[in-house]
Amino acid sequence: MTDMIRISLQPDVAAEKWGKKVSLTPTAEGFQIHLDSKQPARSIQKAARQLDGLGIEQVELSGDGWTLELQWAFYLGFTSAKKLNGVQWYGEEATQLQQLASCFGWARQITNQTPEQLSPEALAHEAIEFLTPLAPDSISHRVIRGEELLTEGWVGIHGVGRGSERPPVMLVLDYNPTGNADAPIDAVLVGKGITFDSGGYSIKPSESMSYMKCDMGGAATVAAALGLAIQKGLSHRVQLVLCCAENLISGHAYKLGDILTYKNGTTVEILNTDAEGRLVLADGLLYASETGAPLIIDAATLTGAAMVALGNDYNALFALDTALQQRALGYANLVQEPTWPLPLAPWHQQQCPSPYADTANSRPIKGGGSGGASNAAGFLSRFVPEGGKGWLHFDLAAAFNSSNTGLWAAGATGMGIRAIAETLRQEAGKV
């Protein structure tokens, strides 16, 4: 016997004395979850949220029926910003579950940190310290900082971050398990790392700005996805590019009407300083293009429009390579991370016109106007090679919740990590 609170699964509905549609009832050793046969994982996650609400710190999963996915659903519901552990796994899948928990726990903890704790440079070094121990002989890195960015032509990261006293950085981390310094790079992951987004001169209202510590969620997601893939035996060379900056207001901040000229010659007029994520990602995508990698995946908490379209339950996936997009949707479904395709066509590149530059970074309409998520993806498509072949863009609508819900505690969720890790494992080295 143990004093640990035990959680078991019960396929039958709760007895009438507990009320209607009750999913959680007590037992002699803890609690039992009454499964909804139509959506078992969702019912378990909801029940786990109720247990967290009781103030329970640690539980042991026991009894029959606990598959990997059902145990993982429990973990997602039970954990919170203040409690990233506390689940004792059941059965032979404990190692896999612990790998997941270590990657999700890192990404959630980093994303939930305060803006004061997590500067752009600190974010880069946190990623280095998380990933390097996973494969110390196979990982090297370079941090490009402050004015070095401008010297090397990374005008988007520099422009967005120059208003802060804490310098912007680009992290390039190289995972090369081949031992061959000349091995081809099979994939590049690019993450938006805006450690705080005030909106700049297009300043956000307080109710929107209060949780903008989460705007580096894309960087956390791709770093954690790489970590998960490494733990699962990734054997291909992959580079990670994090585009890190604080978007603040000062006498040195970038302004509406400024024009940035990117390394590929594309000129961009700034019509909204709060559409900064696409500006930093453009640099990351250009770097990825220069490597010649046949697979490029970027992830970002990029647009409110994706959340309007999909809510907080699905991440949006954009691609011009529709065959790759369909395979990636299949990988996301395999690991049960809700992901939905939104429209992207070549003509979306023209949806933010400028009389002074090749394009603007947004439209001079509140929220960027209709189709904002597709227009942002169209902007990014200007910076990838071969008409978008081999490129995927995840707009992480489900990566963060500003308040508690029936499925999630407030804060980062980690949604997107498994889908990207599985896509990387399945697609890297195919070409």
Q: Count CB-CB contacts under 10 A for residue 387.
A: 10
CA angle 354, 358, 359 (to 5 degrees): 50
**What residue spans define the domains of the chain?**
5-92, 106-427
Q: Strands 391-395 and 295-300: what pairing? A: parallel
What pLDDT, on a 0 to 100 scale, did the predictor assign at position 2? Answer: 53
- Report residue 292 CA to chain centroid gap: 24
Taking alpha carbons only, the member of 247, 397, 382, 251 closest to residue 313 is: 397
Tokens of 305: 């429009």
- Report residue 92 CA to chain centroid gap: 28
List all residues 6 or more positions away from 64 whose beta carbon is below 8 Å from its beta carbon.
9
- Report residue 148 CA to chain centroid gap: 27
In the chain, the N- to C-terminal Cα span, in Å, equals 54
Distance CA 354, CA 360 (A): 5
Q: Count CB-CB contacts under 10 A for residue 215.
A: 25
Tokens of 302: 């990029």
Distance CA 307, CA 202 (A): 20
Distance CA 382, CA 388 (A): 9
Give the Å distances, CA to CA, from 421 to 143, 148, 232, 314: 23, 31, 9, 17
Q: Which residue spans within 372-424 are E strands per DSSP?
A: 391-395, 400-401, 411-412
**pLDDT per 10-residue tile (average), the chain, 431 residues:** 83 86 92 93 96 95 96 98 95 95 98 97 98 98 98 98 98 97 98 98 94 97 98 98 98 98 98 98 98 98 96 97 98 98 98 98 86 97 97 98 96 98 95 64
Q: Count CB-CB contacts under 10 A for residue 60.
A: 17
Please give the CATH superfamily to which domain 106-427 belongs.
Zn peptidases (3.40.630.10)
Tokens of 122: 């600190």
Q: Strands 339-341 and 24-26: what pairing? A: unpaired
CA angle 76, 80, 84 (to 5 degrees): 80
What pLDDT, on a 0 to 100 scale, did the predictor assign at position 367? Answer: 73
Farthest-apart Cα atoms in the chain, separation: 74
Taking alpha carbons only, the member of 185, 140, 177 closest to residue 390 is: 185
**Which amino acid type is present at position 3?**
D
Alpha helices (runs of H) in 132-243, residue ranges in sequence order: 147-151, 155-161, 206-209, 217-231
Taking alpha carbons only, the member of 79, 78, 143, 72 closest to residue 109 is: 79
Catalytically active residues, by annotation: 204, 278
**Backbone torsions φ then ψ of 99, nearest 5 degrees:** -60, -45
**Backbone torsions φ then ψ of 317, nearest 5 degrees:** -125, 125
Cβ–Cβ under 8 Å, residues 299 and 221: yes
pTM of the prediction? 0.97
CA angle 161, 162, 167 (to 5 degrees): 70
Over residues 286-325, the pLDDT tens digits come to: 999 999 999 999 999 999 999 999 999 999 999 999 999 9
**β-strand partners of 245:** 194
- Stated as kind and residue range, the H or E segment containing 53 is helix 40-53
What pLDDT, on a 0 to 100 scale, did the predictor assign at position 260? Answer: 98
